[in-house]
A = this chain, B = another copy of it.
Protein backbone atom coordinates (compact mmCIF):
# COMPACT_ATOMS: atom_id res chain seq x y z
CA UNK A 1 0.00 0.00 0.00
CA UNK A 2 2.75 2.38 0.97
CA UNK A 3 4.60 1.34 -2.14
CA UNK A 4 1.54 1.92 -4.28
CA UNK A 5 1.12 5.38 -2.77
CA UNK A 6 4.76 6.09 -3.67
CA UNK A 7 3.75 5.67 -7.31
CA UNK A 8 0.89 8.12 -6.91
CA UNK A 9 1.46 11.61 -8.25
CA UNK A 10 -0.63 14.72 -8.88
CA UNK A 11 -0.61 17.02 -11.88
CA UNK A 12 -2.45 20.34 -11.87
CA UNK A 13 -2.65 22.10 -15.23
CA UNK A 14 -3.19 20.03 -18.36
CA UNK A 15 -2.04 22.48 -21.02
CA UNK A 16 0.38 21.44 -23.73
CA UNK A 17 3.19 20.97 -21.19
CA UNK A 18 1.17 19.55 -18.28
CA UNK A 19 -0.75 17.09 -20.40
CA UNK A 20 2.48 15.77 -21.89
CA UNK A 21 3.96 15.32 -18.43
CA UNK A 22 0.78 13.65 -17.11
CA UNK A 23 0.63 11.22 -20.04
CA UNK A 24 4.32 10.38 -19.63
CA UNK A 25 3.71 9.54 -15.96
CA UNK A 26 0.76 7.28 -16.83
CA UNK A 27 2.91 5.56 -19.43
CA UNK A 28 5.60 4.95 -16.83
CA UNK A 29 3.20 3.30 -14.40
CA UNK A 30 2.31 6.12 -12.03
CA UNK A 31 -1.21 6.69 -10.69
CA UNK A 32 -1.81 10.21 -11.93
CA UNK A 33 -4.43 12.36 -10.17
CA UNK A 34 -5.08 15.37 -12.35
CA UNK A 35 -7.01 18.62 -12.41
CA UNK A 36 -7.50 21.39 -14.94
CA UNK A 37 -10.05 24.22 -14.99
CA UNK A 38 -11.33 22.78 -18.28
CA UNK A 39 -13.45 19.79 -17.18
CA UNK A 40 -13.49 18.25 -20.67
CA UNK A 41 -9.67 18.07 -20.72
CA UNK A 42 -9.68 16.28 -17.34
CA UNK A 43 -12.33 13.86 -18.57
CA UNK A 44 -10.34 13.10 -21.72
CA UNK A 45 -7.22 12.45 -19.66
CA UNK A 46 -9.18 10.07 -17.38
CA UNK A 47 -10.11 8.04 -20.47
CA UNK A 48 -6.37 7.62 -21.14
CA UNK A 49 -5.66 6.07 -17.75
CA UNK A 50 -5.49 9.17 -15.54
CA UNK A 51 -7.64 9.77 -12.45
CA UNK A 52 -9.92 12.82 -12.65
CA UNK A 53 -10.11 15.18 -9.68
CA UNK A 54 -12.92 17.66 -9.13
CA UNK A 55 -10.65 20.36 -7.76
CA UNK A 56 -7.00 20.98 -6.77
CA UNK A 57 -7.69 19.92 -3.18
CA UNK A 58 -8.74 16.47 -4.32
CA UNK A 59 -5.42 16.10 -6.14
CA UNK A 60 -3.57 17.22 -3.02
CA UNK A 61 -5.38 14.69 -0.85
CA UNK A 62 -4.36 11.80 -3.11
CA UNK A 63 -0.76 12.59 -4.03
CA UNK A 64 2.20 13.49 -1.90
CA UNK A 65 4.20 14.60 -4.94
CA UNK A 66 2.36 17.28 -6.89
CA UNK A 67 3.49 18.87 -10.14
CA UNK A 68 1.98 22.29 -10.80
CA UNK A 69 2.25 23.17 -14.49
CA UNK A 70 -0.12 26.10 -14.86
CA UNK A 71 0.62 29.30 -16.79
CA UNK A 72 1.96 31.72 -14.20
CA UNK A 73 2.42 32.73 -10.56
CA UNK A 74 -1.21 33.84 -10.06
CA UNK A 75 -2.54 30.47 -11.19
CA UNK A 76 0.07 28.63 -9.12
CA UNK A 77 -1.06 30.55 -6.05
CA UNK A 78 -4.73 29.94 -6.80
CA UNK A 79 -4.51 26.15 -7.21
CA UNK A 80 -2.36 25.79 -4.09
CA UNK A 81 -3.93 28.29 -1.69
CA UNK A 82 -7.24 29.38 -3.23
CA UNK A 83 -10.72 27.87 -2.76
CA UNK A 84 -10.36 24.05 -2.65
CA UNK A 85 -6.62 24.56 -2.94
CA UNK A 86 -4.18 21.66 -2.83
CA UNK A 87 -1.82 22.79 -0.06
CA UNK A 88 -4.37 22.50 2.77
CA UNK A 89 -4.98 18.83 1.96
CA UNK A 90 -1.43 17.63 1.31
CA UNK A 91 0.26 15.66 4.12
CA UNK A 92 3.24 17.11 5.97
CA UNK A 93 6.49 16.17 4.27
CA UNK A 94 4.98 15.99 0.79
CA UNK A 95 6.48 17.83 -2.17
CA UNK A 96 5.19 20.47 -4.59
CA UNK A 97 7.14 20.64 -7.87
CA UNK A 98 6.29 24.13 -9.16
CA UNK A 99 7.09 24.26 -12.88
CA UNK A 100 5.40 27.37 -14.26
CA UNK A 101 7.78 30.17 -15.27
CA UNK A 102 7.39 32.61 -12.37
CA UNK A 103 9.32 35.57 -10.96
CA UNK A 104 12.16 34.31 -8.74
CA UNK A 105 10.75 36.44 -5.90
CA UNK A 106 7.46 34.52 -6.13
CA UNK A 107 9.31 31.18 -5.92
CA UNK A 108 11.01 32.39 -2.73
CA UNK A 109 7.68 33.44 -1.24
CA UNK A 110 6.12 30.13 -2.28
CA UNK A 111 8.86 28.11 -0.58
CA UNK A 112 8.23 29.94 2.68
CA UNK A 113 4.46 29.66 2.46
CA UNK A 114 4.52 25.92 1.71
CA UNK A 115 6.98 25.40 4.58
CA UNK A 116 4.28 26.78 6.89
CA UNK A 117 2.16 23.80 5.81
CA UNK A 118 5.09 21.43 6.33
CA UNK A 119 5.34 20.97 2.54
CA UNK A 120 8.59 21.02 0.56
CA UNK A 121 8.93 23.08 -2.60
CA UNK A 122 11.04 22.15 -5.57
CA UNK A 123 11.35 25.35 -7.60
CA UNK A 124 11.46 23.56 -10.93
CA UNK A 125 10.82 25.48 -14.15
CA UNK A 126 11.06 23.34 -17.25
CA UNK A 127 12.56 23.77 -20.69
CA UNK A 128 12.07 21.75 -23.84
CA UNK A 129 8.58 22.51 -25.09
CA UNK A 130 5.48 20.39 -25.55
CA UNK A 131 7.23 17.82 -27.75
CA UNK A 132 9.77 16.91 -25.08
CA UNK A 133 7.14 17.04 -22.33
CA UNK A 134 5.27 14.32 -24.24
CA UNK A 135 8.32 12.06 -24.40
CA UNK A 136 9.61 12.58 -20.87
CA UNK A 137 12.64 14.45 -22.16
CA UNK A 138 12.31 17.82 -20.42
CA UNK A 139 15.15 19.79 -18.88
CA UNK A 140 14.36 20.89 -15.34
CA UNK A 141 16.15 23.74 -13.56
CA UNK A 142 15.53 22.76 -9.99
CA UNK A 143 16.32 24.02 -6.52
CA UNK A 144 14.97 22.80 -3.17
CA UNK A 145 15.67 20.86 0.00
CA UNK A 146 17.64 17.64 -0.44
CA UNK A 147 14.87 15.64 1.26
CA UNK A 148 12.44 16.90 -1.37
CA UNK A 149 14.72 15.69 -4.14
CA UNK A 150 15.18 12.35 -2.42
CA UNK A 151 11.43 11.82 -2.29
CA UNK A 152 10.50 13.25 -5.70
CA UNK A 153 13.43 11.91 -7.71
CA UNK A 154 11.47 9.03 -9.37
CA UNK A 155 8.92 11.56 -10.63
CA UNK A 156 11.60 13.95 -11.89
CA UNK A 157 13.44 11.07 -13.56
CA UNK A 158 10.22 9.99 -15.29
CA UNK A 159 9.53 13.35 -16.92
CA UNK A 160 13.02 14.78 -17.54
CA UNK A 161 16.10 13.89 -19.54
CA UNK A 162 18.13 16.24 -17.39
CA UNK A 163 17.57 17.66 -13.93
CA UNK A 164 19.92 20.50 -12.97
CA UNK A 165 20.28 20.59 -9.19
CA UNK A 166 20.80 24.26 -8.39
CA UNK A 167 21.09 24.11 -4.63
CA UNK A 168 18.58 24.32 -1.78
CA UNK A 169 17.44 27.91 -2.23
CA UNK A 170 13.89 28.25 -3.58
CA UNK A 171 14.10 30.86 -6.33
CA UNK A 172 17.38 29.66 -7.81
CA UNK A 173 15.61 27.41 -10.33
CA UNK A 174 13.43 30.35 -11.40
CA UNK A 175 16.42 32.68 -11.63
CA UNK A 176 18.25 30.38 -14.04
CA UNK A 177 15.05 29.87 -16.03
CA UNK A 178 14.58 33.64 -16.18
CA UNK A 179 18.04 34.08 -17.73
CA UNK A 180 17.28 31.29 -20.20
CA UNK A 181 14.02 33.03 -21.19
CA UNK A 182 15.81 36.35 -21.61
CA UNK A 183 18.15 34.77 -24.16
CA UNK A 184 15.51 32.61 -25.85
CA UNK A 185 13.21 35.62 -26.27
CA UNK A 186 15.96 37.87 -27.62
CA UNK A 187 17.20 35.17 -30.00
CA UNK A 188 13.77 34.58 -31.55
CA UNK A 189 13.16 38.29 -32.08
CA UNK A 190 16.69 38.71 -33.48
CA UNK A 191 16.16 35.74 -35.82
CA UNK A 192 13.00 37.42 -37.14
CA UNK A 193 14.80 40.75 -37.58
CA UNK A 194 17.70 39.05 -39.39
CA UNK A 195 15.53 36.97 -41.71
CA UNK A 196 13.41 40.01 -42.52
CA UNK A 197 16.47 42.09 -43.47
CA UNK A 198 17.85 39.21 -45.52
CA UNK A 199 14.60 38.92 -47.47
CA UNK A 200 14.49 42.70 -47.95
CA UNK A 201 18.07 42.60 -49.28
CA UNK A 202 17.15 39.90 -51.78
CA UNK A 203 18.71 36.83 -50.19
CA UNK A 204 16.86 33.52 -50.58
CA UNK A 205 15.57 32.78 -47.06
CA UNK A 206 16.21 29.03 -47.42
CA UNK A 207 19.84 29.68 -48.32
CA UNK A 208 20.16 32.13 -45.46
CA UNK A 209 18.82 29.55 -43.02
CA UNK A 210 21.21 26.91 -44.31
CA UNK A 211 24.32 29.10 -44.12
CA UNK A 212 23.57 30.84 -40.80
CA UNK A 213 22.63 27.55 -39.10
CA UNK A 214 26.20 26.41 -39.72
CA UNK A 215 27.87 29.71 -38.85
CA UNK A 216 28.77 31.80 -35.82
CA UNK A 217 25.44 33.65 -36.05
CA UNK A 218 23.44 30.57 -35.13
CA UNK A 219 21.39 30.00 -32.00
CA UNK A 220 19.22 27.16 -30.71
CA UNK A 221 16.17 29.34 -31.36
CA UNK A 222 17.31 30.38 -34.85
CA UNK A 223 17.53 26.72 -35.82
CA UNK A 224 14.23 25.87 -34.15
CA UNK A 225 11.98 28.79 -35.18
CA UNK A 226 13.17 29.93 -38.62
CA UNK A 227 11.76 26.75 -40.23
CA UNK A 228 8.31 27.97 -39.16
CA UNK A 229 8.90 31.16 -41.17
CA UNK A 230 10.22 29.20 -44.16
CA UNK A 231 7.12 26.99 -44.08
CA UNK A 232 4.81 29.97 -43.62
CA UNK A 233 3.26 28.01 -40.75
CA UNK A 234 2.51 30.05 -37.62
CA UNK A 235 0.58 27.35 -35.79
CA UNK A 236 1.66 28.10 -32.23
CA UNK A 237 4.16 25.68 -30.75
CA UNK A 238 4.83 28.50 -28.30
CA UNK A 239 2.83 31.70 -28.69
CA UNK A 240 3.87 35.36 -28.94
CA UNK A 241 1.95 35.96 -25.70
CA UNK A 242 4.25 33.59 -23.79
CA UNK A 243 7.18 35.91 -24.46
CA UNK A 244 5.12 39.01 -23.80
CA UNK A 245 4.69 37.42 -20.36
CA UNK A 246 8.15 35.89 -19.85
CA UNK A 247 10.21 38.88 -20.98
CA UNK A 248 7.81 40.94 -18.83
CA UNK A 249 8.84 38.81 -15.84
CA UNK A 250 12.52 39.30 -16.71
CA UNK A 251 12.14 43.08 -17.02
CA UNK A 252 10.06 43.40 -13.83
CA UNK A 253 12.52 41.29 -11.87
CA UNK A 254 15.44 43.34 -13.19
CA UNK A 255 13.65 46.59 -12.39
CA UNK A 256 13.29 45.45 -8.77
CA UNK A 257 17.08 44.99 -8.80
CA UNK A 258 17.50 48.43 -10.49
CA UNK A 259 19.19 46.64 -13.36
CA UNK A 260 19.07 47.82 -17.00
CA UNK A 261 18.38 45.38 -19.88
CA UNK A 262 18.46 47.42 -23.12
CA UNK A 263 18.33 44.50 -25.57
CA UNK A 264 15.71 42.54 -23.63
CA UNK A 265 13.53 45.64 -23.39
CA UNK A 266 13.72 46.14 -27.15
CA UNK A 267 12.90 42.49 -27.85
CA UNK A 268 9.92 42.74 -25.49
CA UNK A 269 8.62 45.65 -27.56
CA UNK A 270 8.80 43.48 -30.68
CA UNK A 271 6.58 40.84 -29.06
CA UNK A 272 4.20 43.59 -27.97
CA UNK A 273 4.11 44.88 -31.55
CA UNK A 274 3.26 41.39 -32.80
CA UNK A 275 0.57 41.14 -30.12
CA UNK A 276 -0.80 44.59 -30.98
CA UNK A 277 -1.05 43.46 -34.61
CA UNK A 278 -3.30 40.59 -33.56
CA UNK A 279 -0.72 37.79 -33.61
CA UNK A 280 -0.53 37.20 -29.85
CA UNK A 281 -1.93 33.66 -30.01
CA UNK A 282 0.21 32.65 -33.01
CA UNK A 283 3.67 31.12 -33.03
CA UNK A 284 6.31 33.42 -31.53
CA UNK A 285 8.08 33.51 -34.92
CA UNK A 286 5.19 35.82 -35.91
CA UNK A 287 7.41 38.70 -34.82
CA UNK A 288 8.64 38.55 -38.43
CA UNK A 289 5.16 39.71 -39.51
CA UNK A 290 5.76 43.08 -37.88
CA UNK A 291 8.56 43.62 -40.40
CA UNK A 292 6.27 42.46 -43.18
CA UNK A 293 3.55 44.89 -42.10
CA UNK A 294 5.82 47.93 -42.08
CA UNK A 295 7.94 47.10 -45.13
CA UNK A 296 5.88 44.81 -47.34
CA UNK A 297 8.62 42.18 -47.62
CA UNK A 298 7.41 38.90 -49.10
CA UNK A 299 7.31 36.14 -46.49
CA UNK A 300 7.21 32.49 -47.60
CA UNK A 301 3.59 31.43 -48.13
CA UNK A 302 2.11 28.53 -46.23
CA UNK A 303 2.79 25.31 -48.06
CA UNK A 304 -0.01 22.97 -49.00
CA UNK A 305 0.90 20.37 -46.40
CA UNK A 306 2.42 20.27 -42.95
CA UNK A 307 5.80 21.73 -42.12
CA UNK A 308 8.55 20.22 -44.20
CA UNK A 309 10.77 17.75 -42.45
CA UNK A 310 14.34 18.79 -41.76
CA UNK A 311 15.42 16.41 -44.52
CA UNK A 312 13.18 17.94 -47.13
CA UNK A 313 14.17 21.43 -46.06
CA UNK A 314 17.84 20.59 -46.40
CA UNK A 315 17.24 19.05 -49.80
CA UNK A 316 15.55 22.23 -50.93
CA UNK A 317 18.44 24.36 -49.73
CA UNK A 318 20.96 22.02 -51.33
CA UNK A 319 19.40 22.66 -54.72
CA UNK A 320 20.47 26.26 -54.34
CA UNK A 321 23.62 26.12 -52.25
CA UNK A 322 26.26 24.20 -54.15
CA UNK A 323 28.50 22.58 -51.60
CA UNK A 324 32.25 22.74 -51.71
CA UNK A 325 33.62 20.62 -54.50
CA UNK A 326 36.84 18.87 -53.52
CA UNK A 327 37.47 17.52 -57.03
CA UNK A 328 40.82 18.71 -58.33
CA UNK A 329 40.74 21.40 -60.97
CA UNK A 330 42.28 20.52 -64.32
CA UNK A 331 45.19 22.88 -64.07
CA UNK A 332 46.16 23.08 -67.71
CA UNK A 333 42.88 24.33 -69.02
CA UNK A 334 42.37 26.50 -65.96
CA UNK A 335 45.65 28.26 -66.58
CA UNK A 336 45.65 28.27 -70.30
CA UNK A 337 42.15 28.84 -71.51
CA UNK A 338 40.38 30.87 -68.92
CA UNK A 339 38.13 33.57 -70.20
CA UNK A 340 38.17 37.13 -68.99
CA UNK A 341 34.83 38.40 -67.69
CA UNK A 342 32.88 40.69 -69.96
CA UNK A 343 33.36 44.37 -69.30
CA UNK A 344 30.41 46.00 -67.67
CA UNK A 345 29.47 49.64 -67.50
CA UNK A 346 28.86 50.85 -63.96
Contact = CB atoms under 8 A, between A and B. Distances in A.
Contact of A6 (B260, B264, B334): B334
Contact of A93 (B115, B326, B338): B338
B191 A183 contact: yes
Interface residues of A, number: 117
A305 interface: no
Contacts of A259: 196-197, 200, 291, 295
Interface in A155-169: 156-157, 160, 162-166
A175 to B, nearest CB: 5
Interface string A5-32: 1100000000000000000000000000
B344 A115 contact: yes
A3 interface: yes
A150 B338 CA distance: 9
B216 A339 contact: no
Contacts of A6: 331, 334-335
A190 B194 contact: no
A56 to B, nearest CB: 21
Contacts of A344: 111-112, 115-116
Which of A166, A179, A212, A291 has the most chain B CB atoms inside 10 A of its CB? A179
Contact of A329 (B153, B179, B203): B153
B153 A216 contact: no
A310 interface: no
Interface string A131-174: 00000000101000101101101101100101111100000100
Contact of A2 (B153, B193, B294, B336): B336
**Which DSSP category, helix, strand, loop or mixed, fits chain A's interface?**
helix
B153 A325 contact: yes
A332 B216 contact: no
A89 to B, nearest CB: 15
Interface stretch (A34-42, A47-55, A219-227): A219-227
A304 B183 CA distance: 31
Contacts of A338: 93, 147, 150-151
A329 B38 CA distance: 34
A346 B112 CA distance: 6
B183 A214 contact: no
Contacts of A112: 344-346
A176 interface: yes
Given A262-B270, A340-B118, A346-B112, A335 B219 contact: no
